[in-house]
Amino acid sequence: MEAVQNEKGQISIHTENIFPIIKKFLYSDHEIFLRELVSNAVDATQKLRQLSSFGEFGGELGDLKVTVSLDEEAKTITVSDNGIGMTADEVKKYINQIAFSGATDFLEKYKDKTDDKGQIIGHFGLGFYSAFMVASTVEIVTKSYRENAEPVRWVCDGSTEFELTTAERAERGTDIILHIAPDSEEFLDKGRLQTILNKYARFLPVPVEFDGEIVNNTTPIWTKSPSELTDEDYKTFYKELYPMSEEPLFWIHLNVDYPFNLTGILYFPRIKNELRFQREKIQLYSRQVFITDEVKDVVPDFLMMLHGVIDSPIFR
């Protein structure tokens, strides 16, 4: 096994990828950094689970989960997982080359072993860099699932310069440590982070822990077969989405495979309050990650009166 050499260098930015990066950085709502990092951590656990199912990982999966930690005194937010991890070479490949998609690379390699409903959510390279919308410095401490892998630490202050060294980490997985910038200290608030996680992570397919509690339902009812569900299940889920609403008139459970994959549940509401009707919109998800409820340009006009959830990879 080749030892990790202490290394300094410059992150490779390709001209053709500059504009997607700028677009990512110019999100008006910086809270999406947490959605991106938690989604990446979920991907890392899902990749490990898939490798295990392919027979390419023979170790114990253990209790796969993602943990978000806040240290107000140190002014850090950490997103941790016990998934696939990375070697030094993978850090160089997926992190130092901005906009190179680790998820795309993984899916390409295993495309003959996965179906159209694969569980890889995001694109590790570009989404990871959303961390710099709120952090002055970002650290990665990671250890690959590969046998005898050596843990590594990557540090960058938001410039194109990085440092890669050996690290102390006993177990496989990855910690992303954000040193929050002075102009983003609003995110060093437990209530604020809880609200963001409730918005974006509430239905992620891997348990997400924050402040000692699991914040998400990993199997929302739209991921299940209608034969598994009762009318009460549908009504309870509607109440979870829209707590102040009356029971819906009826609902449709969507499960479409062609021309693209789409699942969800659409409810026909009882319309008595116009203001509430405008506020309670269809929610769009991509593989259980909340994307938006601003659906005017996505959902046909004749569906705008409906409530509920639509989930499809095309929204990502």
Of residues 237, 240, 241, 242, the one with CA closest to residue 253: 237
Sign of the C-alpha dihedral computed for residues 228, 234, 237 and 241 taken in this order = positive
Among residues of the chain, what percentage have pLDDT more than 90?
52
Distance CA 228, CA 26 (A): 43
Phi, psi of 288 (to 5 degrees): 75, 5
Ordered structural domains, the chain, with CATH: 7-214 (3.30.565.10), 221-315 (3.30.230.80)
Contacts of 245 (CB under 8 A, 6+ apart): 238, 239, 269, 270, 276, 280, 307
Instruction: Give the pLDDT of residue 119.
Output: 44
Mean per-residue pLDDT for 183-209? 95
Q: Which of 119-128, 257-266, 287-296 has the lowest mean pLDDT?
A: 119-128
- Annotate 65-91 with DSSP letters as a single string: -EEEEEETTTTEEEEEE-SS---HHHH
Mean per-residue pLDDT for 229-244? 94
Of the two residues 160 and 71, the one the predictor is more confident about is: 71
- What is the b/e burial string over 1-11, where b = at least 16 CB atoms within 10 angstroms of the residue's CB? eeebeeeeeee
Instruction: Give the pLDDT of residue 18.
Output: 42
Mean per-residue pLDDT for 85-105? 73
Q: How confident is the model at residue 98 (pLDDT cuts 50, 70, 90)?
A: low
Q: What's the mean pLDDT when you consider all of the chain?
A: 83
Instruction: Give the pLDDT of residue 22.
Output: 38
Mean per-residue pLDDT for 85-96? 89
Instruction: Give the pLDDT of residue 19.
Output: 37
Q: How confident is the model at residue 58 (pLDDT cuts 50, 70, 90)?
A: confident
pLDDT at residue 201 above 90?
yes
Of the two residues 104 and 150, the one the predictor is more confident about is: 150
Instruction: Give the pLDDT of residue 143.
Output: 96
Instruction: Give the pLDDT of residue 2.
Output: 58
Instruction: Give the pLDDT of residue 215.
Output: 96
**Is 107 in contact with 121 (CB distance < 8 Å)?**
no
Mean per-residue pLDDT for 193-207? 95
**Is 139 in contact with 155 (CB distance < 8 Å)?**
yes
**Is 173 in contact with 83 (CB distance < 8 Å)?**
yes
pLDDT at residue 258 above 60?
yes
Of the two residues 293 and 194, the one the predictor is more confident about is: 194
Mean per-residue pLDDT for 232-259? 91
**Is 218 in contact with 206 (CB distance < 8 Å)?**
yes
Q: How confident is the model at residue 274 (pLDDT cuts 50, 70, 90)?
A: low
Mean per-residue pLDDT for 244-272? 87
- State pLDDT tens for residues 130-166: 888 889 899 999 999 998 899 999 998 877 778 999 9
**Is 138 in contact with 177 (CB distance < 8 Å)?**
yes
**Is 41 in contact with 79 (CB distance < 8 Å)?**
yes
Task: Give CA separation, 25 vs 29, 128, 129, 215, in Å.
Answer: 10, 11, 8, 27
